[in-house]
Amino acid sequence: MVARPRFRGMPNEDQAKYWQGKGGEHWVSERDRYARMVAGFGDAVVEAASLSPGDRVLDVGCGMGPTTFAAADRVGPSGEVVGVDLSGPMLGVARERAEEAGLAHVRFEQADAQVHSFEPDTFDAAISRFGVMFFDDPKAAFANIAAALRRGGRLAFVCWQPLFENEWIMVPVAAALEHVPLPEMGEPGAPGPFAFAEQGRVEDILGSAGFKNISLEPLELPMRVGSDADDFVAFAKTSDFADTLMEGVDDATAAAAWASVREALGSYAGPDGVVLSGKTWLVTAIRP
């Protein structure tokens, strides 16, 4: 049996505030764009989890539920999929979609997977599409997830490879940096999108949590980030991208930076919109 960790205080408080507020609201407002951008990565996760009819599945950081619903299609009405997330706004959308589709074998809980008291030894698989890189204590979080899995239970998730290898963010960032200063990058491995970029760190975290047969396979896919360069720039101005890069920058400098971003993205525009590549790790493991 995998021991359930003990916790004191309130972990992931900053993440909870962000996803309950600005972060969650932004993703809800741009739901269709994000769905197009990362759909292929979610499909790969669900496929890697090897789901079967009747399975019980835990979807960690489920957001508005795209991977939850995809898993529900695989397990059928004899199975169950439970999506958990910190974001009330995103879960509100997920619940509406589940109700509209009449999916009785899907449910959503606003919960922190690092500390939530899941019923032990009950899930056949745990999945996540970019939802596991934000824990204050990832070893404790994955130990908690492992405790919720049955023996032989499967883990499958996708996380970003290093920032500098990801075209979808580095092309616009590099263009903006022609005009604005390089922002503070933060501590390596700190909670955030690229916290699991290093293969060895992921292997150590999962191994410490009790997982075996740990595998990280590189997965690179095209990402449609906008219908054209202007569309992407309008979107980026409402995102954390703008908050980070344009902090303390005067209007004229910001305008020059955005013009450079628009120009850089022009060479990636085509009939299908602006398409940049995303490099990730497709991670699988087993709870022994």
Structural domains in the chain (count) = 1
Q: Report the SS3 class of residue 286.
A: strand
Instruction: Note the pLDDT of residue 1.
Output: 31
Q: Is residue 257 part of a domain?
A: no
Instruction: Note the pLDDT of residue 20.
Output: 81
Q: Is residue 94 part of a domain?
A: yes
Instruction: Note the pLDDT of residue 242.
Output: 83
Tokens standing for residue 135: 């824990």
CA angle, 115 then 4 then 10, to 5°: 25
Q: Is residue 194 part of a domain?
A: yes
Q: Is residue 85 part of a domain?
A: yes
Residue 194 belongs to what domain range?
A: 13-162+187-222+278-286
Instruction: Note the pLDDT of residue 11.
Output: 63
Instruction: Note the pLDDT of residue 158.
Output: 98
Which CATH number belongs to the domain containing residue 68 in this structure?
Answer: 3.40.50.150
Q: Is residue 273 part of a domain?
A: no
For the chain, strand residue ranges (E) read 56-60, 80-85, 106-110, 123-129, 149-160, 212-226, 269-270, 273-286
CA atoms of 272 and 274, how far apart (whole Å): 7
Q: Is residue 80 part of a domain?
A: yes
Q: Is residue 149 part of a domain?
A: yes
pLDDT in tens, 76-88: 999 999 999 999 9
Predicted TM-score (pTM) of the model is 0.92
Q: Is residue 58 part of a domain?
A: yes
Low-confidence ranges of the chain (pLDDT < 50): 1-10
pLDDT in tens, 229-238: 999 999 999 8
